[in-house]
A and B are shown apart, each in its own frame.
With several copies, the nearest count.
Chain A
Amino acid sequence: MCEINQKVVNTEVTMEMVLEALAFAAETPVSVAQIRSVYAEVAASDDIPTEEAVQEAVELLNASFEQQGHALRIQKWAGGLRMATTETVAPFLETFFQRERARRLTRPLMETLAIIAYRQPTTKVEVDAVRGVDSGYAIRKLLSLDLLSITGRAEVAGRPILYRTTDRFLEEFGLNDLEGLPNLRQAEELLGEANFDQERLRLLMANGIDHGDQKPVERTSDEDTTI
Chain B
Amino acid sequence: MYRVELEDFEGPLDLLLLLINRREIDIFDIPIAQITNEYLAYVQLMESINLDGVADYIYFAALLISIKARMLLPQPEMDAEDDEIDPRQQLVDQLLEYIRYKDAAETLNQQLEQRSRLFTRGKASMPPEVETPEKEVLVKATVFELMNALRLVLEDAPDEETITIVPQQYSIEDQSEHIRRILFTKKRISFHDLVRGQTRSFIVVTFLAILEMAYGHEICILNTFEGNAFMIEQGGITDV
Contact = CB atoms under 8 A, between A and B. Distances in A.
A1 interface: no
A224 to B, nearest CB: 6
A30 interface: yes
Contacts of A2: none
Contact of A184 (B59, B100, B123, B129): B100
A58 interface: no
Contacts of B52: 217, 220
A191 B28 CA distance: 10
Given A150-B144, A187-B97, A219-B7, A200 B109 contact: no
B120 interface: yes
A195 to B, nearest CB: 7
Given A82-B125, A104-B138, A217-B52, A131 B146 contact: no
B37 to A, nearest CB: 19
A203 B155 contact: no
Interface in B136-181: 136-158, 162-168
A101 B20 CA distance: 32
Interface in A75-111: 75, 80, 82-87, 90, 93-94, 97, 101-111
Interface stretch (B11-19, B78-86, B212-220): B11-19
A162 to B, nearest CB: 10
B116 A212 contact: no
B164 A184 contact: no
A173 B145 CA distance: 10
Interface stretch (B69-77, B182-190, B194-202): B194-202
Contact of B153 (A115, A173, A227): A115
Interface residues of A, number: 94
Contacts of B163: 129-130, 132
B125 A104 contact: no
Interface string A56-87: 00000000000000000001000010111111
A160 interface: no
B100 A106 contact: no
Nearest to A215: B7
Contacts, number: 346
B84 to A, nearest CB: 21
B184 to A, nearest CB: 24
A133 B157 CA distance: 9
Nearest to B158: A132
A204 B104 CA distance: 10
Given A93-B119, A101-B138, A198-B21, 20 more contacts: A23-B124, A30-B124, A83-B121, A87-B117, A105-B139, A107-B137, A111-B101, A117-B108, A132-B94, A133-B56, A173-B108, A174-B143, A191-B150, A197-B21, A203-B106, A204-B106, A208-B9, A217-B165, A220-B168, A221-B168
28 contacts: A26-B124, A26-B125, A85-B127, A90-B119, A97-B127, A101-B134, A102-B112, A103-B113, A106-B136, A107-B137, A107-B139, A107-B152, A110-B108, A113-B108, A114-B104, A115-B101, A131-B98, A132-B163, A133-B56, A175-B143, A181-B108, A187-B99, A188-B96, A205-B21, A215-B7, A220-B168, A221-B199, A227-B200
Interface of A: 21, 23-30, 75, 80, 82-87, 90, 93-94, 97, 101-111, 113-115, 117-118, 125-126, 129-134, 143-144, 146, 148-151, 166, 172-175, 180-182, 184-188, 190-191, 194-205, 208-209, 211-212, 214-217, 219-222, 224-225, 227
